[in-house]
Chain A
Amino acid sequence: MSELVLLLISTALVNNVVLIKFLGLCPAMGVSKSMDSALGMGMATTFVLTLASAASWSLEHWLLVPMELQFLRILTFILVIASVVQFTEMFIKKASPGLYQSLGIYLPLITTNCAVLGVALLNVQQGYGFFWSVAYGFGSALGFTLVLMIFAGLRERIALARVPGAFTGAPIAFVTISLLALAFMGFSGLNV
Chain B
Amino acid sequence: MSISYNAPQTFASPHAHGSNGVRRTMVRVQMALLPATLFGFWLYGWPAFFLWLITLLSCLVFEFMSLRLLGQAQIGRTLGDGSALLTGWLLAMTLPPWAPWWVGVVGAFIAIVIGKQVFGGLGYNVFNPAMVARVALLISFPLPLTTWVMPLPMTTALAPGFIDSLHITLGQVPIPDAMSSATMLGYAKTELSRGLDLLQALTAGHAPQLSWFGIRAGSLGESAAVLILAGGLFLLATGVIRWQAPLGVLAGVAIPAAIAHAVAPGHYLDAGTHLLSGALMLGAFFIATDYVTSPTTGGGQIIFGLGVGLMTWVIRSIGGYPEGVAFAILLMNALTPIIDRYTKPRILGRTRAGRPIDLPSAGKGA
Binding site for B on A (CB under 8 A): 35, 149-150, 153-154, 156-158, 161-164, 167, 171-172, 175-176, 179-180, 182-192
CB pair B124–A162 under 8 Å, yes or no, is yes
Q: Which among B24-32, B175-183, B317-325 touches the partner chain?
A: B317-325
Question: Can you list 11 A-B contacts (CB < 8 A)?
Answer: A153-B334, A154-B126, A156-B337, A157-B337, A163-B119, A179-B115, A179-B126, A182-B135, A186-B315, A186-B328, A189-B319
Contacts of B115 in A (CB 8 A): 179
Smallest beta-carbon distance A20→chain B, Å: 13
* 3 closest cross-chain pairs (CB), A and B: A189-B320, A186-B327, A153-B337
CB pair A186–B70 under 8 Å, yes or no, is no
Interface check B335, CB cutoff 8 A: yes
Bound together, the chains give a CA A191 to CA B178 distance in angstroms of 32
A-B contact count (CB 8 A): 96
- The number of residues on chain B lying at the interface, defined by a beta carbon within 8 Å of a beta carbon of chain A, is 35
Contacts of B324 in A (CB 8 A): 186
CB pair A186–B341 under 8 Å, yes or no, is no
Contacts of B330 in A (CB 8 A): 179, 182-183, 186
CB pair A164–B135 under 8 Å, yes or no, is no
Contacts of B114 in A (CB 8 A): 175, 179
- Bitwise, B327-352 to A at CB < 8 A (1) or not (0) is 11011011111100100000000000
Bound together, the chains give a CA A158 to CA B118 distance in angstroms of 11
CB pair B338–A190 under 8 Å, yes or no, is no
The verdict on A35 contacting B318 (CB below 8 Å), with A182-B330, A186-B311 known, is no
Q: Could you say which of B120, B311, B328, B336 contacts A164, with CB atoms under 8 Å apart?
A: B120
Smallest beta-carbon distance A35→chain B, Å: 7
Bound together, the chains give a CA A113 to CA B44 distance in angstroms of 53
Bound together, the chains give a CA A35 to CA B334 distance in angstroms of 13
CB pair A183–B319 under 8 Å, yes or no, is no
Contacts of A153 in B (CB 8 A): 334-338, 341
CB pair B119–A158 under 8 Å, yes or no, is yes
CB pair A183–B338 under 8 Å, yes or no, is no
CB pair A35–B124 under 8 Å, yes or no, is no
Smallest beta-carbon distance A117→chain B, Å: 27
CB pair B126–A157 under 8 Å, yes or no, is yes
